[in-house]
Structure 1
Amino acid sequence: MWTDFLILMKQEMAVIAMIFILLFMKLGRDRSNESFMNTMNVLLLLNLILGFVFNHEGILFNEMFRTSRLIAFEKNILNLAMLIISLQSYSWLKTNKHVPEFYILMLSSLLGMFFMISSGNLLMFYLGLEMSTIPLAAAANFDLTKRRSSEGAMKLIFSSAFSSACLLFGISMLYGTTGTLVFSELPHLINNNPLQLFAFILIIAGFAFKISVVPFHLWTADVYEGAPVAVTSFLSVVSKGAVLFAFVSVLYTVFSPLAKVWYNMLFILSLLTIITGNLFAIRQENFKRFLAFSSIAQVGFILVGISRSSDISTTSVIYFVLIYVFSNLAAFGVVSLVTAVTGKENISDYKGFYKTNPGLSWVLTIALFSLAGVPPTAGFFGKFFLLIAGAGKGNYVLISIAAVNIVISLYYYLRVVKAIFMDANPTPLPSIRTPLMPKLAFIVCVAGAVTIGVVSPVYDYIYSLIVLR
């Protein structure tokens, strides 16, 4: 029993162990930021490696917790993102007074996401969701001296409270009509009665808040702008990726009898999300707000892929999230480094950036090209597979509008590239020295954004995990 427990929950136990190591280090003599960061980066790397070995399929606690090779791989995508964020945050964290607290908050949130992804029961899913959200609200207010950070944290708390209330109300009504919350039992008890449909709408609304689907996106830009860049990166990539993994699982298992209903909902929500994200991204001047609306538009494309409800859909979503980790974190990494050194966050500040920082300029450009879906970057293949998955339903109106919006998005991504390489700036940003840790993170991100699209075994591996589960 204990052997099964330790093997099936090895990733969760590893995160708990890291939290305790941080607490013991906090009580020790060596409390320098360097020791905390170096120790955590080594532990996060070991945790990433651990995620690829000894992966077994099984259930625990009467189906409250379940795992498989696919679930372990999803968690490892989040582990990879956490490691990259930690490496990129070096310049910001080295002068911060609360480095261990930052890591404890991030790891506590990551632990909640792991439980959420492995949940086989809606109550366990809700507990994991709350465990992942509450530390993030505190982390959003990590810049205690900045009013903007406090405002962002308050907006995140209020929006999270409202979305959690919708989600919990929907779960309670679903339990009232079925008498169970177990994923494997619910599909046999859902019969399209009005109360179940209303419960489903509330649950979808709860998910939509967490992944910034229009019209539930209003908190996103303000929180992204107010939070430290490292926390914004975590919100944009790790938090969103975890909720998307859980969303696909709940939609395809629990609510499979309502496939016709939620397909129509996803059709509308995806179009609203893509169009709104693109239109608002065009007019942004702050880089973090720009990337916030960019991420909203990306979620719209993911919803297009989800709408098909098949193994190909699941593969395309996981594949795109992996690509999104490299692309988005590369962009946020440059912004994080520039902000830590100069304190500047506006797109106009990057005019003439190439003249003083050619290396960082190319990292940012490759990231933006991948987010835009420009070949041969991985983002092109990610969006291509999402559209192919969505086309399986034969709704070519949805696919056509999504494809047109990919072209529209080129405008605001290339606007930034133009500012970097072509626009003149009498006072360009100074030359920024890239420390070793952020440099390693940039190498990983650029390599992933360039190569994953053309390395077909990555997509095939994800597909094999889904087919053999």
Structure 2
Amino acid sequence: MDILTTLHTMQAEIALAVILIVVLLTDLFLKTPSPKVMQRLSCVLLVLLLPVTLTSPYEVEAFGGMYQNTAMTSVAKTLLTAGTLLVFLQANPWLEREDTRHKAGEFYLLTLSTLLGMFYMISAGNFLLLYVGLELASIPMACLVAFDKFRHHSAEAGAKFILSAMFSSALMLYGLSLVYGTCGTMYFADLSQHMTGTPLQILAIVLFFAGMGFKLSLVPFHMWTPDTYEGAPTCVSAYLSVISKGAAAFTLLNALVKAFGPMASQWEDLAAVVIILSITLANVLALLQHDMKRFMAYSSISQAGYLILAVLGTPSQGAGAMAYYVAVYVVANLAVFGVISTVEQNCGGRTDREAYNRFYQTNPRLSLVMTAGLFSLAGIPPFAGFFSKFMVFAAAFHAGHWMIVFLALVNTVISLYYYLLVVKAIFITPAETNPLPKFTSSGAVRAALAICLAAICLIGICPQAFDWMTQAAQYTFGHIG
């Protein structure tokens, strides 16, 4: 393959690598640290990256099939790029602090590095590239989690994250060694011919699923999540909860369908158990949380269970439902995290739920955004979260997993309660002292929250977005089933 063909095939990754170099050089040559300059540059470059990911060529490969780009991977990369852009818009108030403003360039470089690793994960046609992409995404992420290194909780969160990442990577790598030992290849296209359901192959699937379960924070691989979300900077927690989780979900679906497809009966049972455990346990523990970041951590564990429910559907319907769920989850979760971050930066670092008592009296617009985000996460119509949950339920139901869908529906009712606890605090619960003061967000934060609010209200009633994702899924997985 000549260099021009490779450049054309991998245009999204190459464009992102160029963006990384531009951001690095800009940070090096700035005479004084300027978070605002770095934010504007990074956001503009990500906006320019969006059409590149959208127009990436379909059904092409590089390096003998190790790298593959399909219609579905283009959709996934576009969603992750858009979500990263929203995180960047929300990050500047935190980076403008005296103790972090000189590290703004590092924040954008590390975040873009994780995004590049996720691109490789999603486009992997070989388990080796998948693993390399996973490590490229995980190691900079550990640095981001420990970004406030002089704050005890951030350093602790970084240590817990890197230890969990290390153990999960070891489990996955051991599972991949069993795959190679029993099949003699690591290429997805070749593996499906050798998957016969031997005990070693079943163990390999369990270990691979465990490794990805850590990345998705599925039960019982979730123990790091609440402490990491609480200790990490709020913008990093937001990025972890949506972008990292979305990339891991697409990667898991791609590997299970393309590599482990002949053993679907084995991994579907495993996935069903993990889904119900994740949704149920997270819903119960979320009821006990008073810190908003820990609350959102358990919410993300529950949402991961709903997200992986799409894996149980047929490949084409499940992939479309998953992409739609990720799109809705990105805007809803970032809306809530955006408000949490804004309150934290303007109100002395408060993240406790009691701080939001009668919040609407002083900050009605932020209250509206947070309420819409929480209602969408809960799946209340007419917000987009209702339609995204319906799509993943329909995908699993049509594949015959009606009992799993029923249990997930019961848990959805339970989740309404703890999401409404925050809404009750905002509008009903009297404040023990004066409510939080009125404050003004930066223009970039207001733009990000406005985009999230508009998407929450419009994605569900505009079928074009879902049609685009389902067509991409059908084009990619239609020949599989």
Task: Tell me the TM-score normalized by structure 2.
Answer: 0.96
Q: Is the 8 A contact 1:142 1:228 kept in 2?
A: yes
1:360 aligned to 2:366?
Answer: yes
Secondary structure at the aligned position of 1:188 is classed as coil
Secondary structure at the aligned position of 1:195 is classed as helix
Distance in 1, Cα, partners of 2:252 & 2:225? 19
Q: CA deviation at 1:33?
A: 1.9
**Partner residue, 1:347:** 353
Distance in 2, Cα, partners of 1:26 & 1:360? 33
Distance in 2, Cα, partners of 1:264 & 1:165? 23
Q: Is the 8 A contact 2:87 2:239 kept in 1?
A: yes
**Partner residue, 2:479:** none
Provide Cα deviations, 1:159-202, integer angstroms capped at 9, x if missing partner: 11110000000001110111100010000011111111111111
Provide Cα deviations, 1:404-449, integer angstroms capped at 9, x if missing partner: 1111111000110010011111221111201110111011111111
Specify whether residues 70 and 397 from structure 1 end up closer, same or farther in structure 2 by C-alpha distance, changes over 3 A only.
Answer: closer
1:175 to 172, 180, 184: 180
Distance in 2, Cα, partners of 1:361 & 1:49? 33
1:200 to 189, 196, 205: 205
Secondary structure at the aligned position of 2:61 is classed as strand
1:453 to 457, 460, 470: 460
Q: Is the 8 A contact 2:75 2:323 kept in 1?
A: no
Q: Is the 8 A contact 1:91 1:340 kept in 2?
A: yes
Distance in 2, Cα, partners of 1:78 & 1:88? 16
Provide Cα deviations, 1:43-76, integer angstroms capped at 9, x if missing partner: 1111123322353431101111111222111101
**Partner residue, 1:321:** 326
**Partner residue, 1:13:** 14
1:411 to 413, 417, 437: 417
Distance in 1, Cα, partners of 2:148 & 2:30? 26
Q: Is the 8 A contact 2:12 2:56 kept in 1?
A: no
**Partner residue, 2:473:** 466
Q: Counterparts in 2 of 1:66-145, with a 5 A limit?
A: 66-95=68-97, 96=100, 97-145=102-150
Q: CA deviation at 1:303?
A: 2.4
Q: Counterparts in 2 of 1:27-38, with a 5 A limit?
A: 27-30=28-31, 31-38=33-40
**Partner residue, 2:287:** 282
CA RMSD of aligned residues (A): 1.1
2:66 to 64, 67, 72: 64
Q: Is the 8 A contact 1:7 1:56 kept in 2?
A: no
Distance in 2, Cα, partners of 1:336 & 1:443? 15
Q: Which amino acid aligns with 1:436?
A: G
Structure 1 stretches of 4+ with a deviation exceeding 4 A read none
Distance in 1, Cα, partners of 2:30 & 2:105? 14
Q: Is the 8 A contact 1:285 1:348 kept in 2?
A: yes
2:341 to 329, 333, 336: 336
Secondary structure at the aligned position of 2:196 is classed as coil
Q: Which amino acid aligns with 2:443?
A: L
Q: CA deviation at 1:463?
A: 1.1
Distance in 2, Cα, partners of 1:466 & 1:411? 34
Distance in 2, Cα, partners of 1:54 & 1:269? 34
Q: Is the 8 A contact 1:183 1:254 kept in 2?
A: yes
Distance in 1, Cα, partners of 2:455 & 2:181? 46
Distance in 2, Cα, partners of 1:26 & 1:171? 39
Name the stretch that deviates more: 32-41 or 287-296: 32-41
Gaps of 5+ in 1: none
Name the stretch that deviates more: 66-75 or 78-87: 66-75
Distance in 2, Cα, partners of 1:37 & 1:460? 33
Q: Is the 8 A contact 1:183 1:253 kept in 2?
A: yes
Provide Cα deviations, 1:112-148, integer angstroms capped at 9, x if missing partner: 0001111110011001001100000011000122100
Q: CA deviation at 1:3?
A: 2.4
Distance in 2, Cα, partners of 1:317 & 1:86? 24
Q: Is the 8 A contact 1:339 1:345 kept in 2?
A: yes
Distance in 2, Cα, partners of 1:153 & 1:68? 34
Q: Which amino acid aligns with 2:460?
A: G
Distance in 1, Cα, partners of 2:242 & 2:264? 27
Percent identical residues? 39
**Partner residue, 1:439:** 446
1:423 to 404, 408, 429: 429
**Partner residue, 2:386:** 380
Q: Is the 8 A contact 1:84 1:329 kept in 2?
A: yes
Q: CA deviation at 1:352?
A: 1.1
Gaps of 5+ in 2: 477-481
Specify whether residues 448 and 218 from structure 1 end up closer, same or farther in structure 2 by C-alpha distance, changes over 3 A only.
Answer: same
Secondary structure at the aligned position of 2:107 is classed as helix
Q: Is the 8 A contact 1:252 1:309 kept in 2?
A: no
1:228 aligned to 2:233?
Answer: yes
